[in-house]
Structure 1
Amino acid sequence: MVSPAGLVAEKAAATAFANVVMGRLNRELDKKYQMWKNIRTEISSLQTDLGILAAAVDDHQTMAAAPRTAVARVYGEEIRELTHDIEDCVERFLHRITCKPGASRARRSAHAIRTFRTRLRFAAKIKEFRSRVAEARERALKVAMLADGAQQSNIIDTVGYAQDCCHPVGIEWATMELRRLLDIEPNQDEAEGTSNNTPAAAQAQLRVVAIVGFGGSGKTTLAKAVYDNVHREGSLRCAWVDGHSLDHKDANGIIQHIQEKLHLGEGCSATLPTEQHQDRYFIVVDDMKDKHLMQWNSLRNAFRDNGRIIVTTDTQSLANRCCNHPREEDKCTFGYVYNMKSLGEEDSRKIALLGRCTPELVLGAAKLLKKCGGLPLALYSVACQLSCENVLTGKFCNKLCNELGTYLEREDDEPNFARLRGVLRENYTSLSDYTVRTCLLYLGIFPVDRPFKKNVMIRRWLAEGYARHHQGRHQTAANENFKTLINRSIILPVAPISNAIGKTCKAHGIMHAFTLHKSMSKKFIMPFGAQQKKVRHFFIHDSDVINSRTMPDIDLSRVRSLTVIGNACDAISNFSQYKLTRVLDMEGCIDVRDCHLKDICKLWNLRYLSLGPNITMIPKEIAQLKLLETLDASKARVNVLPVEAIELPCLIHLIGKFKLQDPVKTERLPKECMLETVAGFVADKGRGFLLLMDHMKKLNKVKIWCECEETEQDQAGMNGNLSKAIQKYIETPMGEDNVRSLSLYFQGLPQGSLSALDQICQHYSLRAGHVCHLSSLKLHGNSNPAILPKFVALFRDLTKLSISTTVSVTRYLLSVLGEMPVLLYLKLAANSVDGLVIQHGKFRSLHCLCLELKLVGTSVLTIEDGARSEIISLQLICKNLVGLSNIEITHLRELKEIALHPDVAEETRKAWEAEARNHHNRPNVLSIAGDHEEEPAHEYHIREEHPAAKNETPATCSALALEVDPESNATSPVKPGLVVDFAKGAESAPASWHAAQLQTVPTSATC
């Protein structure tokens, strides 16, 4: 028996134990609870630390200094691995602990208890990551000190480069064309197609030609050829200004420097030398950068009367800036953007293969030349490498092709590709930040010969999280990233039509090879067959599967995207392995079938899903994809869409041609529907999508196909529902972007059966002053001729309009179109047009006019003198066009592009070419096909017409290039220069088109 004293002592001991042990346990539990409660803050802080570290590494990598040390490369790899590990861990954790939206309080409490251990494990993992980040920070300081030492001793000059190659290839016609543009032809009166009655005011104007192109395309060489010719003739006073000299002089210093070169004398004005000298001056400003714009403004003003200026630059926006002069009364301002063109197959072989052309060599080198993409500097670098061989064979060329990426990324002093490496690295490192560079590396997923759509790429970037904005404007950030790559000629537009620039593009050939190798070396992207365990982005092309039938040993649970073109092989055998996949692009995959979709619908992290041609139905299990943002079934054979797809809470873009499976109850829709694009759905007697449009408050792009109904009652039902849906859509004010598109396809309906437009017009006729909001409108089919003008007139803020009909366009409609104040793009595809007249006060904002006509008379278009038209692009897609058809393009003062049908008579084409040469802007003459001759989206062919190419067969452009693109952010640019067939790798271009091959230039001049 224990005594009372013992009881007291035992109680005291128990109390002490409780206070010490249990108190400690309670404190630990409380500490873990705080971790649990603040876990999201911890994640945010950790990601901020990683962002700072990544930015520090990025700054070091992008310094214009020596190649990175081995320590720096290892450290960069460590940071990437750490970032990927944290990102994967965070996404897995959030998926496991996230409770279903709208769950009751009891369910949320139960879910919190069930996931308690998961939260503790994640808190421990966060602590581990914090420790790794701290260690990485310490190593970063050591790496920076090592890099500073290396920078002082191992700097490689990537600017100065003397070449000892032969005479430039294919430069004669380009030199002649530039001299014509500058109005400094040696025998102007005898030159073909030129006019000797140019007004004195026009002769005295400033003329600027900006040569723009990718580094190494021969811009400096071409400018130097023109400069040497003019200087040798002595007809003009000449000055060559290197862009690097602008870094160290202010505006007055630059003008003084030019004056000294022009031998103007010290007594001349430092600001307006032309006031005392009426001679014309020829000035070349080579390698201009954005930072030189202030000096450029002063230079332009100083020589604004008689100056003839060539500017070379690798930035499209800068070229546009130099060529877009302020308008002056009684003066014709002239600016021309000359885009450098790629070399064709014949000239590429001359340079790269050192003049050899045996069948075995030509066959073996074909793939290598295609990778070079007709870039003179790349071809010259290849020629230097091939010249090191005792015996040149096609086998060695093929080997060099396979290893080309290695040569472009080498860190040593290998000389043959040194200059090309410098150009490619400068293009990569000079991009604004690491997010843009990440977007560039992502382009390596797509084959170089396969164009991609701008909107597809942007949606993929957004789904991957590679285009983020601190204020949430992610779409704007993605658009800016794409625009940056276009601006630097890293992404090339396939069709150089003004309204299609940036819509369908492809990566620059040699830059694609560079970024592909860089991406693979970083384990950022990886093709099928590569033996790497960890891969972020996995892609499969037909050729990859053919070369390797065995599925590589890859940790598919960490793959973020899978892109398949052709056969997918074993990569799709078990979609459940793709635990964290965000993007699944099966659009070009031929062996993904309906049976695979149920496994795909289990990919909880999926944001982007594109389906291929063998998919016939979408299962209801798609409701499991709670994070899906884009569903693209445009290439699939899916006709019916389950209602579960519409109910997805994060869905933004729905693309295809669908009918709804069942009527959707509006209460089942998300409270805040995120859908912005529905392109599109079929309107029939069922209410379907038409009923739901009222609940989709964020819609800005809608396509509707109207199907023919059997009975009048069915047609009446369809028209009534369609009318109500469109009214709701156009009554909502547009957002900040001022973008809203509507496309109606009713060509399958009997003429006059579409009464929905009539109902809409009647509805708003009773509501005076009501404003309808629409920025882009497409109408395809035959409607009541009296109703169409009234419907179009409802939209005063319309900027793009496309009307396609098999009947004639009436004068009533044309009169309405002429009064639309902000209309920029107008396309009329019809049987004929009845009296289209551009006169004073009509079509005041129109930039692009496209007429696709079956029947043409003696006068297709009348342009009156004094019309003050802003038309930049005139597209006359008419097979039966005869001559100029009395079209006075001299009245179109801003005209920079003329497009003709490829099958017009040769005499008509010659007449337009001659007329274009006489126009003060010298607009391009292109050949493009219309909508009725539609080709596959990836086959675009553009040809610029000029005398040297008159015997070539005209190529065609897909009709997709002519379609209104309401999602495109491209503005009407200044006139593009020569562009060859990108889709075919420039092999088909005639030699006379080709850009200059590199020649010896002053050491301060760069390409």
Structure 2
Amino acid sequence: MDLVVGASESTINSLVGKLGSLLAQEYALIRGVRGDIQYINDELASMKAFLLDLTQDDHDNRKKDWMKQIRDMAYDCEDCIDDFAHRLPKDSNFSGKCCCPWLAALLYDLWTCWPRHEIASNIAELKVRAQLIADRRMRYGVESPKGRESNDSSDDVPGYDEIAEDQLPRREMTMKEPVGTRTVMEELEKWVENKAVKDRTVASIVGFGGVGKTTIAMALFNKVMKDFDCRAWVTVSQNYDEEAVFRDILSQIIPDYNQQDSYENTERRNTEKCIPGQFKRALQLCRRHTPTTQHDNSGRSKLTSATTVKEHLQEKRYIILVDDIWSAETWKQISRCLPDNNRSSRIIVTSRLRSVGAACYQSEKDHIFSIDFLCDEDAEMLFKQSVSESKCRNDGDANNLSKQNQKHSDKEIIHHGELWRRCGGQPLAIVTMAGLVACNQNKPTKYWDKLCKRLPARETSVTEVFDKQVNSLTLEGVKRILDCCYNDLHGDLKTCLLYLAMFPKGCKTSRKCVTRRWIAEGFVTKKYGLTEEELAETYFNQLLRRKLIRPVDHSSNGKLKTFQVHDMVLDYIASKAREENFITVIGGHWMMPAPSGKVRRLSMQSSSSKPGDSTKGFNLSQVRSLTAFGNINQLRFQEFNNRLIQVLDFQGLKGVRDKHMNHICKMLILKYLSLRGTAITEIPPRIGKLEFLETLDIRETDVEELPENVRKLKRITSILGGSKNKNPRKGLRLPEEKRKKQQLQDKEDDGMKALRLQDNEGNGMKALRILSGIEINKTTAVESFYLLTELKKLSIYKLSIEGPDKIQIFEQLLSSIEYLCSCGLQTLAINDLDSEFIESLDKMSAAPRYLVALELSGKLEETPNWLQKLHTLNKLTLSVTVLRTGTLDLLSSMPLLYSLTFSFSGAKQDNDIVNVLEKNKSQSDGEIFVPKGFKSLKLLRFFAPRVPKLGFCDNAMPALEIIEMRYQTFEGLFGVNTLGNLKGVHLREEKLGEKDEKTINGFLLDDLKYSTEELQVAIDHTFITY
């Protein structure tokens, strides 16, 4: 509960709600306790009202100390209530086991006598603390808050229009060239394109934090990467982890690298399963005493990542962007593993430190570019552009605003002209201020006049980086600007922003991961008629509009997939979080001292694999949220109170094994559990004890099946499993239960297993909203899916249905899917390589009208006849086996279709697939024509062993921006010059067998290169073996 941090309304309401529930439990309370709880409840409500009336100017040292006391008391109160709720068994547990009610009540009183007296004593102490805190305010003169002005409240409830606007996500596919950098960009482009220089050369971009170094480097990288064989972008930051950096590079220069690791590791484990027990123990003993290097989760040697990078790049022309280096020594370590291969390779480095730039400058062929603050003209242009972007949901809207409403926009921005002038030409300050302006369009002049007085005055000073006079902004000036942007947020949004300090600098953070964690932490509750998920998305979109977070990667539907927080913004919110004891970080780059109070949210960011005393001096008994990066050896589970932890995120954590599940299953109020990318292989049956669990993420692990007791998770909303990146995909089997055998010869009860989504009382996983990455086979009782009426996403990675019951299972599965679609299913994905189930989808009696995303992969020969009726669909993936002109005609009229993909996800090229493709091509006279239409489509992708000749007609796909292809054989792409909005083409040619220097057909390259000067064409070559 976070009373002080952002005056978070949702979290204090959660505590008041718990107190109210406790008062309603007649059986649980003893004499005298009810009055104490009522007193604490009333005091907290009054304190909340007092704090909400405080303005930012009212926060003097006395008020801050008093607020801290309220927060600590509320923390302890919440812990006491949760301990009360979980130490006392429910009365129904006794009455259900006893036929005599009065005897059951007597047994319950005797069984719970000691815990109830102990908790009563704790509540009495909390009541005294609440009284003392109230008295202390009067004794030390903590005055009542001044009256607020109606237009000057940062904690105003957001209006309906604002909520409705932020519900609609911004969709993007391409990046714009940064403002005010044309000269620098031209010089950098000349450096890159100078092929007369065969040596590997380095360009270092240095400058003050927030001047746009990374933005410039990324714009250059995206513009020139088409000319290189290999390309990668990595963020280093202060906490340099060599292994993580080079594995990130490997994942980009060898696209299937992680998949190969996983395959080799799985094969090794499968081989071990076949070894008898005594031999297996002997093998493990031999390994234990054999000198080896350390291994990570994928099974590869820790020392081979950098070596593999060097070997792979030895004969390639490559470009590598190394962002945010903080020491010359770090650069030297990275540089040694990037070969100088006499192929005109290029390395781009960004850093705040001139010493790093000097270390990169080893010859006259290297360059140092110092980035200055923007001049007034560029600063104004950036401000206007950023305001327009924040007001609109996509680039088209922004362009329309700038063209159609230019006069109105100019008039409005002139009114705020003093704001951007106070930002000192620093791009970070300008864009965050633009976000504030865009989100407060209805504020009166008085508000902006008062805001200007809080901003730093313009200064001309000598900066340490540039050694010359410029219109600069000091670190203190940046902090004051961020203060204004932060104080403008309403309470819940402040809390959500501060929570991002849990993640390390330079970390690419998943949007979905963050929103799920906000919900589990209690920062987001149902309001404004929205569910928790919808409101969390709304809050995220508000932070994005306000430019407090920056996008990194987008999904194929255009929505933001991952994001980063700028270093200076992250420094600011980490400082705020530390002041309020909201988040504690151990390791990494923060160097935080041990907090004086109890730790509530802990982020462990050390990359060391050695057990240490990093938590020495920390009181971890009240930790509610634990996030760990690096290695699990840093943790000592005995230091934590398992009864209080609600959020546990071990994603990608090294060293996590099945034995650690014993500790995790003791965390009885756990709501969020992520083990994604760890080495666990099994979920124990004790998982059923985590009755409050809402999210279970076990993607990219070796867990193959869920235990039977998972059906006891009545509050579970998201089950995420399987491995999407494997080829073929790996699915997660649902829990199975043997039916009782009534007769050995009875075919219906002959030991077959069936899924049970509910227990004997009819309860179960009815709250489930996301079921992703599952495998359906003959032992799965698919008829039970109809119980999941709240389901919004169903993703089936594998269908293994054979035998005499195949038709019956098909009918049951189809009936369940049709029913779920009628209940509001929004995302349906089915990957069917062998069973031919997807062919039966055409028999659905009603179109799944609520779908926004549909994926049908496998041997699909005909598209369902209801497909063109899906008017809300924005993302569609179909098997390449239906790629023909007739299919494109069918889809061309879909009004909201944003992304269209034709793919085949088989592990190898299938002769049947090839024959179907040849048949489709012959039906289209040897060439697939893309008809006019597809007015909203921006992304077109083809992932298949063979892609036929494609031609674009006039007026086809007018909004298309990106074409992506991955193939072994490609016959050509024509009519590209008709695609007026096309920004980029990415081709990945997969070749069988050994490396072959044969390139893509020359006529194809010519057609692409000469279609438009601004078209970015990137070509990759990968070599695969079967």
TM-score range, shorter chain: 0.5 to 0.7
Counterpart in the other structure of 2:959:
871
Work out which of the residue numbers 489, 508, 523 in structure 2 matches 1:466: 523
- In structure 2, distance between residues paired with 1:55 and 1:872: 48
Counterpart in the other structure of 1:91:
82
Deviations 1:78-101 (A, max 9, x none): 232122122212211222335176
- In structure 2, distance between residues paired with 1:289 and 1:929: 45
Relative to 1, partners in 2 of residues 1:527 and 1:815: Cα closer, same or farther, differing over 3 Å? same
- Matched position secondary structure for 2:721: strand
What amino acid sits opposite 1:641 in the alignment?
A: L
- Matched position secondary structure for 1:495: strand
Counterparts of residues 173-322 of structure 1 (less than 5 Å): 221=374, 224-225=377-378, 285=413, 314-315=433-434
Work out which of the residue numbers 512, 517, 533 in structure 2 matches 1:455: 512
Whether the aligned pair in 1 keeps the contact of 2:668 and 2:689 (CA below 8 Å) is: yes
Report percent identity of matched pairs.
Answer: 20
Whether the aligned pair in 1 keeps the contact of 2:895 and 2:936 (CA below 8 Å) is: yes
Work out which of the residue numbers 868, 878, 888 in structure 2 matches 1:803: 878
Structure 1 residue 176 displacement after superposition: 13
Counterpart in the other structure of 2:65:
74
- In structure 1, distance between residues paired with 2:772 and 2:141: 51
Counterparts of residues 922-937 of structure 1 (less than 5 Å): none
- Matched position secondary structure for 2:975: coil
Work out which of the residue numbers 674, 689, 708 in structure 2 matches 1:624: 689
Relative to 1, partners in 2 of residues 1:726 and 1:418: Cα closer, same or farther, differing over 3 Å? same
Given the alignment of the two structures, is residue 861 of structure 1 paired with residue 952 of structure 2, yes or no?
yes
Counterpart in the other structure of 2:583:
525
Structure 1 residue 464 displacement after superposition: 1.0
Counterpart in the other structure of 1:430:
488
Counterparts of residues 156-167 of structure 1 (less than 5 Å): none
Given the alignment of the two structures, is residue 553 of structure 1 paired with residue 617 of structure 2, yes or no?
yes
Relative to 1, partners in 2 of residues 1:722 and 1:428: Cα closer, same or farther, differing over 3 Å? farther
Relative to 1, partners in 2 of residues 1:480 and 1:273: Cα closer, same or farther, differing over 3 Å? closer
Given the alignment of the two structures, is residue 700 of structure 1 paired with residue 757 of structure 2, yes or no?
no
- In structure 2, distance between residues paired with 1:633 and 1:526: 26
Whether the aligned pair in 2 keeps the contact of 1:36 and 1:119 (CA below 8 Å) is: no
Given the alignment of the two structures, is residue 828 of structure 1 paired with residue 920 of structure 2, yes or no?
no
Given the alignment of the two structures, is residue 639 of structure 1 paired with residue 713 of structure 2, yes or no?
no
Which stretch of structure 1 is more off in the superposition, 692-701 or 900-909?
900-909
- In structure 1, distance between residues paired with 2:868 and 2:117: 64
- Matched position secondary structure for 1:499: coil
Structure 1 residue 353 displacement after superposition: 3.4
Relative to 1, partners in 2 of residues 1:717 and 1:932: Cα closer, same or farther, differing over 3 Å? farther
- In structure 1, distance between residues paired with 2:819 and 2:125: 55
Deviations 1:353-380 (A, max 9, x none): 3469xxxxxxxxxxxxxxxxxxx99xx6
Relative to 1, partners in 2 of residues 1:498 and 1:673: Cα closer, same or farther, differing over 3 Å? closer
- Matched position secondary structure for 2:629: strand
Given the alignment of the two structures, is residue 757 of structure 1 paired with residue 757 of structure 2, yes or no?
no
Q: Highest CA radius of gyration, 1 or 2?
A: 1
Deviations 1:770-812 (A, max 9, x none): 66643311122232x13x343645755433211243x461223
Whether the aligned pair in 1 keeps the contact of 2:586 and 2:602 (CA below 8 Å) is: yes
Given the alignment of the two structures, is residue 745 of structure 1 paired with residue 859 of structure 2, yes or no?
no
Whether the aligned pair in 1 keeps the contact of 2:783 and 2:813 (CA below 8 Å) is: yes
Relative to 1, partners in 2 of residues 1:39 and 1:760: Cα closer, same or farther, differing over 3 Å? farther
Relative to 1, partners in 2 of residues 1:526 and 1:544: Cα closer, same or farther, differing over 3 Å? farther
- Matched position secondary structure for 1:557: coil
Structure 1 residue 576 displacement after superposition: 6.3
Whether the aligned pair in 1 keeps the contact of 2:28 and 2:116 (CA below 8 Å) is: no
Counterparts of residues 700-739 of structure 1 (less than 5 Å): 700-708=792-800, 713-714=802-803, 717-718=805-806, 720-732=808-820
- Matched position secondary structure for 2:578: helix
Counterpart in the other structure of 1:589:
653
Structure 1 residue 116 displacement after superposition: 5.4
Structure 1 residue 125 displacement after superposition: 4.6
- In structure 2, distance between residues paired with 1:534 and 1:77: 12
- In structure 1, distance between residues paired with 2:625 and 2:568: 24
Counterpart in the other structure of 2:183:
172
- In structure 1, distance between residues paired with 2:66 and 2:530: 31
What amino acid sits opposite 2:604 in the alignment?
A: I
Work out which of the residue numbers 957, 961, 976 in structure 2 matches 1:887: 976
- In structure 2, distance between residues paired with 1:859 and 1:317: 46
Deviations 1:441-484 (A, max 9, x none): 11111112221211111111111111123467322221222111
Relative to 1, partners in 2 of residues 1:42 and 1:602: Cα closer, same or farther, differing over 3 Å? farther
Given the alignment of the two structures, is residue 776 of structure 1 paired with residue 853 of structure 2, yes or no?
yes
Deviations 1:311-346 (A, max 9, x none): 977456977999xxxxxxxxxxxxxxxxxxxxxxxx
Work out which of the residue numbers 508, 513, 522 in structure 1 matches 2:566: 508
Work out which of the residue numbers 494, 499, 504 in structure 1 matches 2:552: 494
| TM-score of the superposed pair, with normalisation by structure 1 | 0.57
Structure 1 residue 654 displacement after superposition: 0.7
What amino acid sits opposite 2:653 in the alignment?
A: C
What amino acid sits opposite 2:772 in the alignment?
A: A
- In structure 2, distance between residues paired with 1:693 and 1:932: 41
- In structure 2, distance between residues paired with 1:933 and 1:222: 49
- In structure 1, distance between residues paired with 2:379 and 2:418: 24
Whether the aligned pair in 1 keeps the contact of 2:876 and 2:901 (CA below 8 Å) is: yes
Relative to 1, partners in 2 of residues 1:564 and 1:778: Cα closer, same or farther, differing over 3 Å? same
Counterpart in the other structure of 2:536:
478
Counterparts of residues 332-343 of structure 1 (less than 5 Å): none
- In structure 1, distance between residues paired with 2:75 and 2:409: 58
Given the alignment of the two structures, is residue 111 of structure 1 paired with residue 108 of structure 2, yes or no?
yes
Which stretch of structure 1 is more off in the superposition, 675-684 or 525-534?
525-534
- In structure 2, distance between residues paired with 1:912 and 1:173: 28
Relative to 1, partners in 2 of residues 1:877 and 1:579: Cα closer, same or farther, differing over 3 Å? same
What amino acid sits opposite 2:856 in the alignment?
A: L
Counterpart in the other structure of 1:654:
719
- Matched position secondary structure for 1:587: coil
- Matched position secondary structure for 1:780: strand
Structure 1 residue 580 displacement after superposition: 0.5
- In structure 2, distance between residues paired with 1:926 and 1:319: 32
- In structure 2, distance between residues paired with 1:71 and 1:779: 62
Counterpart in the other structure of 2:665:
601
Name structure 1 gaps, 5 residues minimum. 1-28, 152-167, 178-215, 230-238, 244-270, 275-279, 293-310, 323-349, 357-375, 382-415, 918-923, 935-1007
- In structure 2, distance between residues paired with 1:440 and 1:652: 24
| TM-score of the superposed pair, with normalisation by structure 2 | 0.56
- In structure 1, distance between residues paired with 2:621 and 2:841: 53
- In structure 2, distance between residues paired with 1:721 and 1:860: 41
- In structure 2, distance between residues paired with 1:290 and 1:696: 55
Structure 1 residue 836 displacement after superposition: 5.9
- Matched position secondary structure for 1:727: helix
Name structure 2 gaps, 5 residues minimum. 1-25, 150-178, 189-351, 353-369, 388-403, 421-429, 442-461, 588-592, 723-731, 738-753, 905-916, 990-999
What amino acid sits opposite 1:505 in the alignment?
A: F
